[in-house]
Amino acid sequence: MLRILFSPRALVLHLLAIGALVVCGLLGRWQLGVFEDSGRPHATRDPAPVAVGTLTQPGKRMTSDAAGRQVTAEGTFESSRQLLVAERDGGLWLLTSLDLGDGTSVPVVRGWVPRADDPATAVPAGTVTVTGRLQLSEATDSVQRRIRQLPQGQVMTVSSAELINLWRGAKLRDGFVVATAQSPAPAVAARPVSMPPPTEAGGLTWRNLAYAAQWWIFGLFSVFMWWHFVRDFLRSRMAARDQEREKDSGPEPAAA
């Protein structure tokens, strides 16, 4: 039987079955990988910076598709309108109103400092150009503010609704800018706050999972067909061998 199993014709069947099994297995794994990747967040296109005024308007809620966009803003920081945002990575955010010169202002997170008396809290004078990422207004956390008993000049969140009450008279644009660069650079700079580019939530493509299952089923089917052909091949060869033996033995001699 081993001689039949390793005959040239049988070896061709073995190789075809192994090749089909490997190919179907790899194609199924590829489709499974596509399915897994579809559920992960994907980075979206990161356009070049645009003027902050093109994405925000006073008195109008900023759209969610503007969140994370790179923007530029030119104006002067208002030293009378600066707050510290508490409990941010073990320190504080420097939140300062930037007067855009058109009667409107935009809150800017200038950076991170470890404590309230850090030299970087000094507000730069003169006209500056800020580049950063636009962020949606955070929800007001008045409960936490009462529990924490924050010092004067500190807030828990960067909320446009809260800032309008705290910075009275300011015509604020919705949202805020997290600065990544400032020109001219301040004498003492705060540590930049890292904000990743916008991402797009992935959606699982169940079709690719079905494709993976189909390829693996094809692989199992190729194993079944291999077994079926080998079995028939063995039967036919063994039957042929038995017939040859019968011919070689010849008819039995007649009794005397």
User: Six-digit token pair at 106?
Assistant: 């935009």
Name the residue among 161, 33, 30, 160 with its Cα closest to residue 107: 160
The backbone torsions φ and ψ at residue 158, rounded to the nearest 5 degrees and listed phi first, read -100, 85
Strands 50-51 and 70-88: parallel
Kindly list the distances between the CA atom of residue 6 and the CA atoms of 3, 10, 171, 241, in Å, as whole numbers in the listed order: 5, 6, 87, 16
- Say if residue 184 is preceded by a cis peptide, omega within 30 of 0: yes
Q: How far apart are CA 70 and CA 47, in angstroms?
A: 7
Residue 58 CB: number of other CB atoms within 10 A? 15
pLDDT value for 256: 47
Residue in the structure block whose two tokens are 């909320």 = 159
User: Six-digit token pair at 167?
Assistant: 């910075």
Ranges of the chain whose pLDDT falls below 50:
256
pLDDT value for 182: 94
pLDDT value for 44: 58
The backbone torsions φ and ψ at residue 96, rounded to the nearest 5 degrees and listed phi first, read -130, 140
| Beta strands per DSSP E along the chain | 42-43, 50-51, 70-88, 91-99, 105-113, 127-135, 154-155, 176-183, 199-200
What's the chain's length in residues? 256
pLDDT value for 145: 54
pLDDT value for 50: 93
Whether the Cβ atoms of residue 31 and residue 206 lie closer than 8 Å to each other: no
Q: How far apart are CA 101 and CA 104, in angstroms?
A: 7
pTM of the model: 0.61
Cβ neighbours for 69, distance < 8 A, ≥ 6 positions apart: 47, 50, 55, 133, 134, 198
